[in-house]
Structure 1
């Protein structure tokens, strides 16, 4: 499982369910969006898998603040069955309104 809060070390993700249960409140967290057209995951055999987005989607992130520092974490959620060959969680994609 992806876990919950990883403020120290090299982890840079925040599981959606940990956000919903309030585990990130001590870090004065705010939502952020990351523009991208896809992301890459490696499976257990270290093979790369590129996942492309539909137009108008962005990666949801969380901006956490602690003392004088700020960090950005990718919000993750359970991986759809079609992509379980990589991990049990993946970046959460959100649909955004396209500019006029």
Structure 2
């Protein structure tokens, strides 16, 4: 799994950034060249690739008053079983590069997938997860990983720890 995500700021329009961030934060992100978003933050967002560019969307749901699943992730098997069908999920690309979990930073697979769902005025993006590879379980302690291109996490995580 992935409690935080890092992504480049250069492809995100200023108008999208202003929806979620103060001018001070936008400047800090631009200076760093990337945004780091963590699910537990009040306004956690993820980038969603669209035909006309990249937009930011609220990551999952933590609000008990919003009638959407209270999580930031959708298991691949639950999607296949139709458990999300009532929300008419749309599969999207989430252009993130780095993941953060239990104080460990690691590279994410290219082609990370998510779903966008909407109920009334509320729309959210959820990262799609699948059963984790042994290397991912060993390095992160999690039994699921993000859906995307398979990569050798043990090699990447060992390089990051150097």
Structure 2: distance between partners of 1:17 and 1:76? 9
Q: Any unmatched runs of 5+ in structure 1?
A: 1-5, 43-47, 96-100
Partners of 1:53 and 1:8 lie apart in 2 by: 24
The whole-number CA distance in structure 2 between the counterparts of 1:50 and 1:61 is 20
Cα deviation digits, residues 48-75 of structure 1 (max 9, x gap)? 2222146xx1210000111221111000
* 2:87 pairs with 1:27: yes
1:3-58 per-position Cα deviation (integer Å, ceiling 9, x unaligned): xxx8343x21000000111111100110011112221222xxxxx2222146xx12
Residue ranges of structure 2 left out of the alignment (5+ in a row): 1-60, 62-67, 151-162
The structure number with the bigger radius of gyration is 2
Pairwise CA RMSD of aligned residues?
2.0
Larger fraction in helix: 2
- Structure 1 segments (4+ residues) deviating >6 Å: none
Q: Whose relative contact order is higher, 1 or 2, with alpha carbons under 8 Å and at least 6 apart? A: 1
- Work out whether residues 130 and 144 of structure 2, in 8 Å CA contact, stay in contact via their aligned partners in 1: yes
CA distance in 2, matches of 1:84, 1:65: 32
Q: Matched residue pairs, number?
A: 82
Normalised by the size of structure 1, how large is the TM-score? Answer: 0.70
1:98 matched residue in structure 2: none
Give the TM-score, by structure 2 length: 0.45
